[in-house]
Amino acid sequence: MKAMILAAGKGERLRPLTLHTPKPLVRAGGIPLIEFHVRALAAAGFSELVINHAWLGQQIEDYLGDGSRFGLRIVYSAEGEPLETGGGIFKALPLLGEEPFLVVNGDIWTDYDFAALRRPLQGLAHLVLVDNPVHHPSGDFRLQSGRVADAADGEASFTYSGMAVLHPRLFVGCQPGAFKLAPLLRAAMADGQVSGEHFAGRWVDVGTHERLADVERLLAAEA
């Protein structure tokens, strides 16, 4: 199974850090956020990795190189313009092949074991869901008997972690350009094609300076 790290975000809320540094290279505990993922994927047995990038993306290529020092092979999908999550993955599909692949947002920090996702995919997608963080109290989806569905008002729900396994068939009918991933997932959910799991471990959506500080505190506690 191949893996893809989504690293094309501009990181507006992390300015001024992201004025001259791409968001995935912002450091926590002295280590770029994206490096935590690369090392974790290699430890989980992944050997082929695709990374998309846009804003200051050459810096990501310069830092990670071909991946050999981490024990895997990295290829890059450069985006001249922001393509959003769906469009970015769609553009990278020729690099990902015809089998299901793991995808992880480059701007999260987690101790999730990616090896748990290296199993056959039933349907078009498998999502890792987490408890709703303070900044997203309403959540995204509900999870029942291992299946994921859109959350109706008032229903208990979880937040999408930014970690998933997707089948290329999820993107059938899509056209090049910018588009979101969520509508594709919701359409697949309506057909009962999305499975999921709840992860109760450590996970931070590093979208602000405050949440970056949260990661720093977690890493300091480990030291």
The reported pLDDT for the residue numbered 52 is 96
Structural contact between residues 33 and 206, judged by C-beta atoms closer than 8 angstroms: yes
Amino acid letter for position 3: A
Q: For 35-94, what is each residue's pLDDT tens digit?
A: 999 999 999 999 999 999 987 889 999 999 999 999 999 999 999 888 999 999 999 999
User: What value does the mean pLDDT take over residues 95-118?
Assistant: 95
In this predicted structure, the answer to whether residue 99 has a pLDDT above a threshold of 90 is yes
The domain ranges of the chain are 3-222
158 secondary structure, DSSP code? B
In this predicted structure, the answer to whether residue 153 has a pLDDT above a threshold of 60 is no
What's the chain's average pLDDT?
91
User: What value does the mean pLDDT take over residues 192-198?
Assistant: 96
Q: What is the DSSP string of 165-187?
A: EE-GGGGTT--SS---SHHHHHH
The structure tokens 């790290």 sit at 5
Choosing among 3.30.200.20, 3.40.50.720, 3.90.550.10, 3.40.50.10310, the CATH entry for 3-222 is 3.90.550.10
